[in-house]
Amino acid sequence: MTSAAAAAACIFCRIIKGEIPSFKLFENDKVLAFLDIQPLSRGHALVIPKTHAEKLHQVPDAELAELLPVAKKIAIAVGAENYNILQNNGRIAHQEVDHVHVHMIPKPNAAEGLGVQWPAKETDMVSLKTLSEIIKSKM
């Protein structure tokens, strides 16, 4: 599917164009924020760049720079004392809509909001040092 075809079929691009209704919380020339229609908790919102991009590394930096400040404003407006900021890339990383989006998910109690498993792995300082050098050499 071409980029133009993907954008035309994208539910978030259609929300940006006003073809699909949403409960907008914020909008400027770079980003749009709206309430999630399948919320994990009260105030669960999405912040999306207006440029169609499936993965974070494909979004222009100027739009990326807007995502977290808007998520922060929503967290404050909702009155969320505890919350998660979540951004997934790819199906096996739990991305459901192929348009970059940041979730702001209030965590008011143990039962509501995002549940997270964190299967930490054992490692050692030598392996971490080697990996850090490999990553830095490619940046």
Distance separating alpha carbons of residues 36 and 83, to the nearest angstrom: 15
Distance separating alpha carbons of residues 25 and 31, to the nearest angstrom: 11
Cα distances from 115 to residues 59, 89, 131, in angstroms, run 27, 18, 29
Closest by CA position to 90, among listed 54, 118, 60:
54
End-to-end CA distance of the chain: give it in Å, rounded.
30
DSSP-derived letter for residue 138 is T
What amino acid positions are annotated as catalytic residues?
101
